[in-house]
Structure 1
Amino acid sequence: MSNMFSPYSIKNLTIKNRIVMPPMCQYSVDKEDGVPNDWHSVHYVSRAVGGAGLIILEMTSVTPEGRITNRDLGLWSDEQIPHYQRLVSQIKKYDAKVGIQIAHAGRKAEDANQPVGASEIPVEVLPEETMNGELKQPRALTTQEVKETIQQFKKSAERAVKAGFDTIELHGAHGYLLHQFMSPSINNRTDEYGQDLALFGEEVVKAVKSVIPSEMPLIMRLSAIEYIDGGYNLPHAINMAKRFKAAGVDVFHVSSGGEGLPGKLKPKNTPGYQVPFAREFKNQLGLPVIAVGKLSDPDLAEATISNGDAELIAIARGMLNDPYWALHAEKTLTRKVNPPFQYSRGIR
């Protein structure tokens, strides 16, 4: 029997298996209106048909200027809600649960006329790691603007609830705005949000929790370590996570890095290389975790669940390669599979 294909419940969310399709930017919005289109419908619904238990929509910005590019999704207006309602209803037809990752790119907003961040410190990346080849010098948010941004997260969460999402994920990893505030190497502020590196994230969590149903789980994605020289280590991330747990986070989605060019410490990029981070979060915080990072081998994914390293596993590039990854993994692990009847002649 496969543990990966057993159901899992957290609060009022019950997932039919332990497989998560994590957020992956598609850069496919037709206009600058930030709403999902036919591409997003095909992309996400096909993974629901393919057996994913939980699908988390790509990084969706709380403000137009907070997108990575102008071809990214956003949820800053009530007028956008019906577009998400249609997509959510399509995904749910195929027994998948659906979440949305809300975020602000901060200093990594490539198309913003003036990117903003925790500080004025620019991010150094290789040109091929951006969509447009370069990143502009950011401007530090004023204290008042920080408080306004917290309210933007709150409003986006309200819209996500109205759109019918089963869960919300806050993006606090990979060098985006929430991460920028909690990083000692990026945050050089002298106000309260610089003196207390967890404060911005904590207030965002509390604001979001105040407008979502009490039984809706809140997920937060964090980078367990940074790879830039002088970057923070695992104990720092755990300390941040303890504050976020106390504020109301129910599940941690554990990744690493993403804040700039790696220094002496570099990601291993080997199968399962981030699983130890997820396991440490689970052990230290006593909350469910989602593990991610080159887990597309079904046996490795199964071992991650069966060994108790994580409650859920995220399959990113594996699902870009194969929309039916979950069905194929179930066939590999259990020697039986129950695909949609339309595909039963091919997947059996």
Structure 2
Amino acid sequence: MSSTVPETRLFAPATIRGLTLRNRLFLAPMCQYALNDRDGLANDWQLTHLGARAAGGFSLVITEATAVAPEGRISAEDVGLWSAEHEDRLARVVDFVQSQGAAAGVQLAHAGAKAGTEPWLPGYRGASLSAEQGGWQTFSPAGINPVSNLAPSTAMSRDQIQDSVGDWVAAAQRADRAGFDVLQIHAAHGYLIHQFLTPVTNQRTDDYGGNFDGRTRYLREIVAGIRDVWPEHKPLMIRFSGSDWVEGSWSIEDTSAVLNHLPGVDMVDVSSGGIGDVYTGPKPGPGYQLPLATRIKTDHPDLFVSGVGSITSGLQAEEALQETGIDALSIGRAALRNPNFPVEAAAELGFAKPDLPYAAQYWRATWPRNPQPVS
């Protein structure tokens, strides 16, 4: 960078294990529901959607929730990573993302009782589909669903739990072969790992339930299994719901506590919610979830912590990092509206050519625009 580049936290590089990120703006994983073939195979939508955000300047581009098993898909239109063919399809996306200077991240996920739902139908969104509609039998820790509009789920046997841990590990190996730089474990938003963590949905009486140690066992086994096969130079990340905002459910204190028992985790992304029918947390607005990430950074200063929460401008993003002390921001809906969010954030903060994180093919459109008339 030139000597005229402003000093910002947002556009300072960051190194985690063997990976250096060009800035502190991550593309948050967001479901796309774009697979009409219902086979879990990434298609041109994933290439276009993720590739555009890589070209738009994000430092880490994370896939939508990518199911470790067919029954773990949130909907039949979701991406999966349970076979070599899925691996090959995602490798194409990884190659393009990396060619644009971004790191490629994969969010591995299992929806548990929240699987087999309908994402689009008005008045039906998030509800379970029947078998006739293309749904399937879902599984959960104890047959207790995190929200009420779901079909009955089946309590997992111990063998099924162990098989499920194996699915996560096998998917991590495929993610490595596909070339991903970062692996994020989805432990948030009421999906299967989260269903194990909270006593609201985990009322098992064996060693996968009951007290804190039992309820966190499934996650701890997944982390240990993945870290054994995930290369030493690649960061391992977890996304948590820092709080459910539900009395007696998972809390920010629980989130902080479990991180003491997850050796090998380098990065934590802190969101919230997913258990219960009614949202009772802070009023949504710019940075409304960032206090949760701040708490985790305060308790675990050696972890790389990213936060989320309706950040819509470069100035908001820079102020958020300065005020909270966290390390990065995951941008969701604002990135759906604008794939060039990092470029415009950099311009807003005073960067100019050639220091904007823009794809070379688009430089004629970068800021500041040429004030001289074109003859």
Normalised TM-score (structure 2) = 0.87
Q: Deviations over 1:242-288 (max 9, x none)?
A: 222x3x2111100111123126x334212101111101101112211
Among 225, 249, 252, the alignment partner of 1:234 is 252
Following superposition, the deviation at residue 297 of structure 1 comes to 2.2
Following superposition, the deviation at residue 312 of structure 1 comes to 1.0
Following superposition, the deviation at residue 232 of structure 1 comes to 2.9
SS at match of 1:194: coil
Q: Which moved more, 1:1-10 or 1:199-208?
A: 1-10
Asked if structure 2 preserves the Cα contact closer than 8 Å seen for 1:275 and 1:309, the reply is no
Q: Which moved more, 1:16-25 or 1:78-87?
A: 78-87
Aligned to 1:302: 318
Following superposition, the deviation at residue 159 of structure 1 comes to 0.1
Asked if structure 1 preserves the Cα contact closer than 8 Å seen for 2:13 and 2:22, the reply is yes
Show structure 2 runs of 5+ residues with no match: 1-6, 118-134, 368-375
Matches within 5 A, 1:1-348: 1-111=7-117, 112-124=135-147, 134-195=149-210, 196-244=214-262, 246=263, 248-262=264-278, 265-286=280-301, 287-337=303-353, 338=356, 339-348=358-367
Structure 1 residue ranges (4+ consecutive) displaced by more than 4 angstroms after TM superposition? none
Asked if structure 2 preserves the Cα contact closer than 8 Å seen for 1:30 and 1:37, the reply is no
Q: 1:108 and 1:289 mapped to 2: Cα distance?
A: 27
Following superposition, the deviation at residue 228 of structure 1 comes to 3.2
SS at match of 1:56: strand
Between the two proteins, the alignment pairs up a number of residues equal to 337
Asked if structure 2 preserves the Cα contact closer than 8 Å seen for 1:221 and 1:254, the reply is yes
Q: 1:4 and 1:87 mapped to 2: Cα distance?
A: 26
SS at match of 2:15: strand
Q: 1:100 and 1:28 mapped to 2: Cα distance?
A: 17
SS at match of 2:82: coil
Asked if structure 2 preserves the Cα contact closer than 8 Å seen for 1:2 and 1:334, the reply is no
Aligned to 1:130: none
Asked if structure 2 preserves the Cα contact closer than 8 Å seen for 1:278 and 1:309, the reply is no
Q: 1:298 and 1:79 mapped to 2: Cα distance?
A: 39
Following superposition, the deviation at residue 72 of structure 1 comes to 0.1
Q: 1:181 and 1:56 mapped to 2: Cα distance?
A: 24
Q: Deviations over 1:124-172 (max 9, x none)?
A: 25xxxxxxxx521111100111011000000000000000000100000
SS at match of 2:208: helix
Aligned to 1:129: none
Asked if structure 1 preserves the Cα contact closer than 8 Å seen for 2:110 and 2:193, the reply is yes
SS at match of 1:60: strand
SS at match of 1:221: strand
Structure with a larger share of its residues in helix: 1
Q: 2:276 and 2:46 mapped to 1: Cα distance?
A: 28
Q: 1:22 and 1:210 mapped to 2: Cα distance?
A: 26
Q: 2:257 and 2:113 mapped to 1: Cα distance?
A: 24
Aligned to 2:125: none
Asked if structure 2 preserves the Cα contact closer than 8 Å seen for 1:169 and 1:221, the reply is yes
Letter in 2 for 1:174: H
Q: Deviations over 1:12-45 (max 9, x none)?
A: 1110111100100000013122111111111011
Q: Which moved more, 1:207-216 or 1:302-311?
A: 302-311
Asked if structure 1 preserves the Cα contact closer than 8 Å seen for 2:84 and 2:174, the reply is yes
SS at match of 1:175: coil
- % identical equivalent positions: 35
Q: 1:232 and 1:49 mapped to 2: Cα distance?
A: 37
Asked if structure 2 preserves the Cα contact closer than 8 Å seen for 1:182 and 1:240, the reply is no
Q: 1:301 and 1:316 mapped to 2: Cα distance?
A: 13
Letter in 2 for 1:234: I
Change (3 A) 1:341 1:237: closer
Following superposition, the deviation at residue 308 of structure 1 comes to 5.0
Letter in 2 for 1:342: Q
SS at match of 1:281: helix
Asked if structure 2 preserves the Cα contact closer than 8 Å seen for 1:276 and 1:309, the reply is no
Q: 2:190 and 2:230 mapped to 1: Cα distance?
A: 26
Normalised TM-score (structure 1) = 0.93
Structure possessing the higher radius of gyration over alpha carbons: 2
Letter in 2 for 1:175: G
Asked if structure 1 preserves the Cα contact closer than 8 Å seen for 2:243 and 2:273, the reply is yes
